[in-house]
Amino acid sequence: MKGSTYRRCSCRDPKTGKELGTACPRRNGRNHCTYSIRQELPARENGSRRSFARGGYSSLKAAQADLDHVRALLGLTEGDDPEGTELIAAMLAEVSSEKAPLPEVEETRRRLNSGQDLIGSLTVAEWLDRWLAGKRIRKSGLNRYETDVRVHLKPHIGNWRLDRLRVSHLSEMFTAIVDANAELVEQNAQRKAAVAELATVPWKGAEHRARRKALKTAIDAMPAIRRVTGPSTRQHIKATLRAALNDAIGQQIITFNPAAHVEIDSVRKPKALVWTDERVAKWQQTGEKPSPVMVWTPEQTGAFLDFVATDRLYAMWHLIAFRGLRRGEACGQPWSETNLDTHSLTVSAQLVQDGWEIETSEPKTDSGFRVVALDDDTVDVLERHRKQQDADREEWASAWVDTGLVFTQADGSWLHPGKVTDLFERLVAASGLPPIRLHDLRHGAATLMLAAGIDVKIVSDTLGHSDTRITRDIYQSVLPHVGKKAAEATAKLVPLQRKAEAEEAARKTEKVRKKAERAKKAQAGSKKKAKRKKPKP
């Protein structure tokens, strides 16, 4: 196919407005004209001609380089590949009309061989929509992805072409999110201050009524209280984008994942702390928890279980406290997977929240499917619970909802996990014990197992963790007496001269004290003996 480079003068006749072309008197002047290229492309299916044309080159060398580039792209397809030839021709025609940069030859070859669009016009927003539509995961997880995409990713980077997304674009996005947080904090503070001021204005009196009306108008004009996008949420946004881009790499749409290289603030997970006497005393004074994650001592756990002994869901609190089931796992545990004869239960289902709606689901991970051993006391508790449930079934008769679950509402229907949490918090408050979350009862079960000397692998399997490091990092809050015992055992391993000398001096002092004590006793005995032998007058 024909192709050429040529000089072109864009000067126009001032009278007619037409280009002068070769008639321009300055045409042969140095640096006056620019160079252009034209390359004939394969004809369209209807036989009409098309070509690639571009001008404005400052030198013949630059024009020739682009012409060679166009010919190299045309050479990617063989003569017996009419479909590929048409795709290349259509791509070059579009690039020519839009004056877009010529695509790289090797990148075009890769796209052509993998059946992708040759022009990378797919935007980040378009890809995220396609990616979400293809996800086959639990609804709650999909909703979390959708929120990240809708609230953060699309507004900030949705218009970028997917193949041109860079680390710098993501850094700018997270900087913008942090800046927006600062604005939210200020707006929330202003609204709270206005609401607090409104509460102090009396209702009676024309002046006060006018002031209240003005404040209400100002409050209505303010943005509603909104949550900031914290470090944990930002990490999740990054993880969502990284997963979406990894799938794009897997489909050979892109070759680089910028989300894997952007740096954002790390999330420091709170460590579980035990409610020691000192921490309880401070909480009673200030009302503040030392950590978001708090664990009861064995005595406090026992006190709570004694307090709720008559509660209808006592067996659930007992099971979570001793065996560490998650809230959703306990709510979704079926009797068919609870074998009290073999002292075990199999975790194979759970109830999860989607907003306020609940649905049944399999465990989130493979490690969530597990067999949990039951102690004799827990088996007895579950036996009594089953007898009570049988009595409830007879009382409700035909109105009984047969879900087959271990823990249900009074009529046999599903327990709402959110309502279970609310009930637990009310029971803790009524007990007078220091506050913990329902999930912290699971932390406590892990702590008790570790304190009892149970191997961390067994603890990890019981809790349904995929890795023992998770168990060590999150749940291994050491109880005070366990830590003291470990500290003493460690100290005894290191021989210290001063310590040995001090112990030797203490032994000598104790020896002298005992010798003096024996001598004193012997002297006292001699006096008594002499007194008894003294003749009476």
Residues written for the chain: 537
Write the pLDDT tens digit of every residue in 115-164.
Answer: 777 776 789 999 999 999 988 877 778 888 999 999 999 999 999 989 88
Alpha helices in 102-230 (DSSP H): 105-114, 124-134, 139-148, 154-157, 167-200, 206-221
Q: Which whole number is the average pLDDT over 1-26?
A: 75
Mean pLDDT of the chain: 87
- Calculate mean pLDDT across residues 395-400: 95
Residue pair 276/282 in contact by the 8 Å Cβ criterion:
no
Burial of 154 (0-12, 13-18, 19+ CB in 10 A): middle
Alpha-carbon distance of 375 to 158, in angstroms, equals 55
Which residue do the tokens 């202003």 mark?
190
The residue with greater pLDDT, 444 or 425, is 425
| Residue scoring higher pLDDT (427 or 504) | 427
Q: Which of 90, 84, 71 is nearest to 111 (CA)?
A: 84
% of the chain at pLDDT higher than 90: 49
pLDDT value at position 446?
87
Whole-prediction pTM value?
A: 0.64
SS3 37: strand
Q: pLDDT at position 490, please?
A: 63
Q: Is the pLDDT of residue 71 over 60?
A: yes
Higher pLDDT, 143 or 430: 430
pLDDT at residue 22 greater than cutoff 70: no
Q: If pLDDT is split at 50, 70 and 90, which confidence band does 80 have?
A: confident
| 336 and 404 Cβ atoms separated by less than 8 Å | yes
pLDDT digits (tens, 9 = 90+) for 85-124: 888 998 899 889 888 889 889 888 887 887 777 776 789 9
Examine the pLDDT at 478 and tell me if it is beyond 80: no
Q: What's the pLDDT band for 536 if we cut at 50, 70, 90? A: low
pLDDT digits (tens, 9 = 90+) for 173-216: 999 999 999 889 888 889 999 999 999 999 988 988 999 999 99
Across 85-101, b (16+ Cβ under 10 Å) vs e yields bbbbbbbbbebbeeeee
Query: How many CB atoms are closer than 10 A to CB 39?
Result: 23
pLDDT at residue 140, as a whole number = 75
Are 55 and 8 contacting, i.e. CB atoms less than 8 angstroms apart?
A: yes
Reported as half-sphere exposure (CB side, CA atoms, 13 A), residue 221 has a value of: 6
Gyration radius of the chain over CA positions = 39
